[in-house]
Structure formats: structure tokens, C-alpha cells
Chains A and B, each alone.
Chain A
């Protein structure tokens, strides 16, 4: 049993992660990316630039959580939204309704079912904050910031790429082993997050109803 604040940071980190990471949208087939479209090896700069280019205000997601506590994965579905410059929102629609909103430094959690509305501050969780900044960096094309926080490895081609992110920060490492983003051109298709204890979550993104 591990006590302390690590878990608290962990959750918040993840909540942000799930919010921010995915807002890079699922691009339309026709969307152009500035990268090389011939199928050659991509760079981080190209991935980030094309993600920014292909960003959409709203995408739908399906997230599966695999845990050693469970015999089968837990599934939630909902919408992710990004409003420039820095407002991120994750809205869960199934199997219940919940909403997480990050505006600047504040994270607001709202659940009608539980009659809860809570606001926490990113600053209380320094590691988490670095993740949020990293994801904002991704969405706004700020590669320098991203590389400050993560060891980045790009694999594959522009048609089928993966971006592996491993945090440098010890606080970050205690929470997440790695993030694996995969996609095609400027379209992000999955985000897998693996925790040091082996539990993981996989989020699959689809072009959502444009609300």
C-alpha cells in the first residue's frame, strides 16, 4: 500500500492527460500536413506540426481501462474539446455523464449524478503541470517545450506513425511509464498510457459530431 500524495498527483495528471492529449483531432482524409507525405520517416517536429494543423474543435473518444484489479476492461465514451488558446474539456457521455474542464490553471470536475462540482489547481501538482504544458505544446505546435519535458521517439511513416513520450521528471516517472500516441498524418488515432504498475488505458479517437 503506498500512501502519500503520489496518487493524488497521479489522478490529476491523468485527468489532464486524457483531456489534453486527445484534443488533437482526427483529421479528414484530405487534410494536408506539412510533413513528407511520401511515406518517409517522420520527425517529432513534423508530427507536432501536422497535429496542430489537423486540430479540430471536437472529437469523440472511447477509452478502455485495463487494470490488475479487474477481470475485464472498463469502457467510457464521450467527447473531447479544445478551445484555443488553452481550454480543454473532456465530457463523458457513457455509461454516465461527467465533465472535466481545464482552463488555464484550474481543473473543474462536475458530476450531476454525484452532485459534485470541484475545482483544483494544477500548481498543486507540479509534475502534472508539466504534462499539461507538454500537451498544450503539442496542440499549439511548440516542439521545444515538448522536448523539454519528454524524451521523444518517433517511429513509422507519415501514414502510420507513433510518438513515444517518456517523462524526464522523476515525479512524472513515478506516475507514468510512457505515453504512446499513434496516428496517420495529422490525425491522432490512439493514445495509450502505461503506468509503472502495468495498468494501462487506451483511448481511441474518432471524428466526432461537430457541435
Chain B
């Protein structure tokens, strides 16, 4: 017997190693972006880059409410000043931001390159005369003191024209100098963070700082004022924290229930603790494997992985159910092993589908589950039996259950009926079979989504849904292409298909356009003549426009500008967000605002005949992305089932046994989908992935139900074990089904229904001959 202890020693050594590894090397990530797929098309890749790090994702929308308008304005101002000093924040918009004097100087010097109104005719004598008359009007107006300073150098008003064309772009109403909602109930701010919206920890830190700043500002003077925050970063943090919180309490409830149930079943604390050995070894192994392969473990992988590993808790239960006075635990284990081995192998095939789905989140989960499953099986086989105290027998198990179970097979007609009913439900139900709208899977509450929409509308911020994407090989090509797109977008805006857009060309003209503008500037002799004619009859002081003549002749030869000119300024940040380099190509991303007619927009953009210009409906595109992965997972599930059938055929060496094992599982899957549909659930990627777990559980049940070796009391013990297994599964996943997080709810409901259905169906269809004696 001594020889049997060596696996335990190896196990202790390995576990010690694994504990050391997880203690020192384990890197748990929480950035949701890490779990996103790479995307299969260029558009999807771009979209995902945008989602990961784009401006829209980094934008936080803030509102202050609950105080009189004047107080709100004051709070917005002091909060904005404070936030602008914070290093993790790129930009704060609240209506107060003004161009710095350096920025104004840069813009002023570049005015003849930047201004859209620089054309040859701008400098004709007639046109100059009209401009000068306009300047006189302005001198008569209260605006005079400001205009006055620019008149000698910029009599055609290019500089103020540039400022006006930028400022006129969708800013909210102001009250006391800061942005306010139209009803003056909320002061509005926009914050652009340095960190990506999906960077949970960074986002949480920034949001905490913003809240703290707000309380410093508001707590004294306006205790009733509240800060509202929205945006992708806020959602990310909320989702993450909700999941953590729910997973924690769900785990506590589920673990308590399972513990109590196991104790009630076996009346032995020792067994309950022993049953934890395979599971905890499996979790450790899963963490080590995922961390070694991917370089990090995602928090979500950990949570869901442990859930999936719940299946391995069945293995010790089978062992414990068969413990008796006649045989030692290792002997019993050896007798059970072939059946268990086949169960483990086929479940492993099911879990490998996750590995192949090409979705990083699922791949991590698959690896975690595979490593955990293998480890737990090995531990159950070699370590656990040795740990069971010799001659230990749990409380006498309930043998009267067998009689009840025996009746089950009389009702085997239930299985085809259920399959037919489920099929009918799937065909005729009003609930669509597949969930096509990703938004429904989002755990963000409807209330929060509405707040987000409200703030976006009030701020005139793009709603992150509609983008126009322009691509080109070089930066200049891109700018030229965007310039042709701009008038077309203006037309769409005029027709009312959309309310507004932001495009890089609004701020930065291409070199070609800049050169055209330079060429439109007359030489100093011509300009002097025309100006002399233009000024006739107007009361301007003689020689007043000498600086203008000088600056135009300088502008004719001045170096062209590109985006480097604005680097490090708020304008530079804007340009960088609107125009980016992606795998050696240049891409302009134009957020569209208030798109009313998506079909019309799509058709219009397609009608431009420019293949490098694409309209992307992010919602549509992300749904498509999810759908692609779901379809792939469904396919893999199909192939997995075929592979499982092959493995079973080889392992069971009997077609009738194969039939008895496989049919309940397939029938069970159909019935589960029917039940889900009937309860108003449409299937998402997460349901499908959970069906894999159901296959694993079902295999376990069916294999044990159909053990040829079981006779008499042994069979009773098997049935008892199966009931315990299924009940623990239903308990764990039933608790999960109570979660408010749609994904957890989906997993819980699917697994709980699946476990119950598979157990019943396996019982209905179990071989009668094997339990008659």
C-alpha cells in the first residue's frame, strides 16, 4: 500500500509549486479590452481599435445638478479648473476653455493656409472693398475693440472666420460662461481621459479622483449638488464591479448551499472537505496554465472558469457514493475509473471547442477548464482515494431512491415528446432563437443608458454609434480624400439625414489645398493696387494696411503646415483622435451625430462610389462580430459532439450503449434550448458556450447511468451519486441564474436546466436490463 502514496507526494510538491507560482507570478488583468477578439475584417479591426483606445471610449460625460443655475455654473468652473490640472486627464470641456495665446499666435500665422475663404477672388478690388466695409460695420458695433486689433493685419477677417467656423460646431447652451442643459438644471462637462475606456483600474482611479474633486468643490457651498457621470469608462467600471460583487455573493450562497447539501447527503465533514481537493487543485492548475500561455489571467476567466469547473465536483461524489465496508477507496476508484475516464475525455473534447472559438475570452476559459478538468480527474483518481481514511464509510445511503428511479425508465416516452415540443417551440415561438442585439446582453441598467443618451444629446456629443471611416495610403492622400467627403457630408446634413459630423479636414487642410490657397494670394504689387482701389471712399487712416501687405507676401512663401504644428495642444489631441495610423495605413474616423436615417446614409455613402470611404454602424458591426463568433462556437459545438460520439463509440465498444449515452444528451440539449426559448431567452454566445458544460455534465450522468458493471447495491449507489451530482449542479447554477447580470443569468439558467434535463433523460433512457436484477 505504501507505493500508493507517491502520487500524493507528487501532488503536494506540485500544489506547493502552483501556490508559489500563483502567489508570485500570477498577473490578473481586469481590462476588458484584453478579452476582445482581433476582428476578422479590416472594418472590425478598426472598430475594435476604436473601441479599445479611441477618443469616443475615452470620453466621460459629466453633469452637475441639484442646485440653482448660478451655483451649478460656479461648481462647473471650479471643478473644470481642478480637473485640468490632473495628469491623467487630457482635456476638460465645460465651455470655459479658450485657446491659449500661443495657440492663437500659431493659428494667426497660419491663417492664409487654414481659412476656407482664401480664394483668388477674395483679393479682388471689389471683394476687398466689401471686406473693408464689413470691418467698418464692426468698428461701429460694440465688437469694435476686439476687431480693431486685427484690422491692420487681417482686413479680410480670415482669422476670426477660422475661429468662428470651429466654434459654431455644436456646443451646448451656456449660462454664466459654462455649458448648461437648455432648462438650466444641469451644468455639463466633457472629460477626455488618457487611459482607454476599457482600462478598468485606471478608469476607476480617474473617476474616483473626479468625484473627490467634486466633493472638495461642492461639499461646503452646495451640499445638495450631485455629480452624474456617464460614458464608456463609467460603464466599464460599473460592469466590472457589478460582476465582482455579484460573483462574490453568488459564490458565497452557492458554496454554502452545496456545503450544506453535501453534508446532509453524507453526514461527514471529512468528505465535504475531501471533495474540495480535486476542485481546488483544478482551479490552481487552470490559473497556472492560463497565466503561462497567455501571460495573464483575466478576472472574468477566473470567475467563469471556476464555474465551468463545477463539473469536476461530480468525480469525488461518485467515489464517496460507492464507499462501503467491503472495499477500500483506491479499489473502488480503480473500478470506477474507466467510466470516469471516458467522461473526462469527452468533456475535455467539449471544452476544447472553447479553445478554438478564436475569441480570446473563450480561449482563456477553454484552457482554464481543460487544465482544471484534467488535473481534477487525476487528483480524484490517484490522490483522493489515498486520503480517504481506511474503512471510512459515510452514512448509509438512501436505497429507496432506486425504486423511484426505476419508474423513470417507464416514462421514456417523455424524451421524444419533449424533443418534439421543444422543436415546435423553437419554430413557432415569438421569441427569436438567437439574440442579435448585443445591447441586451449588457449589464448596464436601462436608467444609466438613458442618462447617457440625455447627456450626449445635451452636450452634442456623438453617440458612439455612427462613424464614417476614410482610408488612404499616406497622410496627405487621406486629407485630400476627406476634403472631397466634407461637402458630401454637408449635403447629407442639409437634407437632414444627420445632424452633424466632425472630420479632420475641418481643422487641417491637405498640402494641396494649402498650396492652392498660397497660389490664390496676389503678389504685393497687385495687392497694393487693388487695396488702393478698394479703400477709396472709406475713412481708413492712410498706410493702415501696410502690415497686411507684408504678411500676405510672407504667407505666399511660408512653409506648409501639418498636424505636428498642433502637437500637445487640445486641438492637436482632437486631430490625433480624428486621424490615425493603422498598420501602415492612414485612417480618418469621423463621428457622426444625430443620424436619423441609417439606411439612407448607407445608401448615400455607397453612392459616392468611393471604396475608401465606409459608413460603419458600430452597433450593427459589433452585433455582427458577436454573431460571427457565436456561429463559430455553434459549429465547434457540432464538431465537438461528433468527436465526442467517436470517442464514446471507441470507449464503450457498443452501439446500443453509445445510443443510450448520446441520445439523452442531444435530446437534453434540444429540450434546454426549447425551455430557454419558452422562458423568453434568446440564445447568445454565452448560452452556447454553456451548452458545452451541459454536454460535459450530461455525458457524466449518462455514462454512469449505463455502467454495465453496476448491479444491485452498486447501482443504487451510482444513482444516489448521480442525484447528489445533479443537485449540487442545479444548486450552483440555479443561484447563478438569479444574477442580474445577463451573462451570468444566461450561464446559470442554461446549466441548471441542462443538468436537470440531462439527468432525467439519461434516467429515462438508461438500459433496463442493467438494473432489473
Contacts and interface: CB of A to CB of B under 8 A. Distances in A.
Interface of A: 1-5, 7-8, 10-15, 18-19, 65, 67-72, 74-76, 90, 92, 95-96, 98, 100, 105-106, 119-125, 175, 195, 199
Contacts of A14: 142, 144-145
Contact of B140 (A74, A106, A124, A199): A74
B139 A67 contact: yes
Contacts of B73: 123
A50 to B, nearest CB: 27
Contact of B101 (A3, A67, A124): A3
A211 B540 CA distance: 37
A44 to B, nearest CB: 26
Given A11-B143, A67-B139, A175-B145, 9 more contacts: A3-B104, A11-B147, A12-B142, A19-B142, A74-B539, A75-B140, A100-B142, A119-B173, A120-B174
B174 A7 contact: no
Contacts of A1: 108, 149, 153
A123 to B, nearest CB: 3
Contacts of B152: 69
Nearest to A75: B140
A1 B73 CA distance: 33
A74 B136 contact: yes
B24 interface: no
Contacts of A15: 141-143
A132 to B, nearest CB: 12
A70 B140 contact: no
A2 B101 CA distance: 9
Contacts of B148: 7, 67, 69, 199
A66 to B, nearest CB: 11
A1 B137 CA distance: 21
A98 B541 contact: no
A96 B136 CA distance: 12
B646 interface: no
A156 B177 CA distance: 40
B410 interface: no
B98 to A, nearest CB: 5
Given A119-B173, A121-B177, A65 B139 contact: yes
A108 B139 CA distance: 19
How big is chain B's contact interface, by range?
A: 35 or more
Contacts of A119: 173-174
A3 B146 contact: no
B287 interface: no
Which 6 interchain pairs have the tightest Cβ spacing?
A123-B176, A15-B142, A124-B177, A7-B146, A123-B177, A10-B145
Contacts of B141: 15, 92, 98
Contacts of A123: 73, 175-178
B149 A11 contact: no
Contacts of A69: 139, 148, 151-152, 540-541, 544
Contact of B139 (A3, A70, A95): A70
Contacts of A120: 174
Contact of B539 (A12, A71, A100): A71
A4 B104 contact: yes
A4 B544 CA distance: 22
B486 interface: no
B176 A105 contact: yes
B227 interface: no
Contacts of B173: 119
Name, among B142, B146, B173, B177, the residue most crowded by chain A CB atoms within 10 Å (CB to CB): B142
A68 B152 CA distance: 11
Interface SS of chain B: helix, strand, loop or mixed?
A: mixed
Contacts of A5: 98
Given A71-B539, A74-B539, A124-B96, A65 B177 contact: no
Nearest to B142: A15
B363 to A, nearest CB: 53
Contacts of B142: 11-12, 14-15, 18-19, 90, 100
Interface in B311-351: none
Contacts of B101: 3-4
B255 to A, nearest CB: 58
Contacts of A92: 140-141
B137 A96 contact: yes
A2 B150 CA distance: 9
Interface of B: 70, 73, 95-96, 98, 101, 104-105, 108, 136-137, 139-149, 151-153, 173-178, 539-542, 544
B145 A195 contact: yes
B149 A7 contact: yes
Name, among A69, A98, A195, the residue most crowded by chain B CB atoms within 10 Å (CB to CB): A69
A8 B146 contact: yes
Contacts of A122: 176-177
B139 A74 contact: yes
B544 to A, nearest CB: 6
A98 B143 CA distance: 12
Contacts of A70: 139, 539-541
24 contacts: A1-B149, A7-B146, A7-B148, A11-B142, A11-B143, A11-B146, A14-B144, A14-B145, A65-B139, A67-B148, A69-B151, A69-B540, A70-B139, A74-B136, A98-B141, A100-B142, A105-B70, A105-B175, A119-B174, A121-B95, A121-B178, A123-B176, A125-B177, A199-B148
Contacts of A121: 95, 174-178
B539 A72 contact: yes
A68 B101 CA distance: 25
Contacts of B149: 1-2, 7
A206 to B, nearest CB: 19
B145 A11 contact: yes
Nearest to B135: A69
Contacts of A4: 101, 104
A13 B152 CA distance: 22
A70 B140 CA distance: 11
A11 B542 CA distance: 25
A65 B60 CA distance: 47
Contacts of A195: 145
Contacts of B108: 1, 3
Contacts of A67: 139, 144, 148
Contacts of B139: 65, 67, 69-70, 74
Nearest to A90: B142
B171 to A, nearest CB: 11
Nearest to A113: B137
Contacts of B146: 7-8, 10-11
Contacts of A7: 145-146, 148-149
Contacts of A74: 136, 139-140, 539
Contacts of A19: 142
A3 B105 contact: yes
B460 to A, nearest CB: 15
A10 B141 CA distance: 12
Nearest to A95: B140
A90 B143 CA distance: 13
Name, among A10, A13, A76, A195, the residue most crowded by chain B CB atoms within 10 Å (CB to CB): A10
Contact of A71 (B70, B96, B143, B540): B540
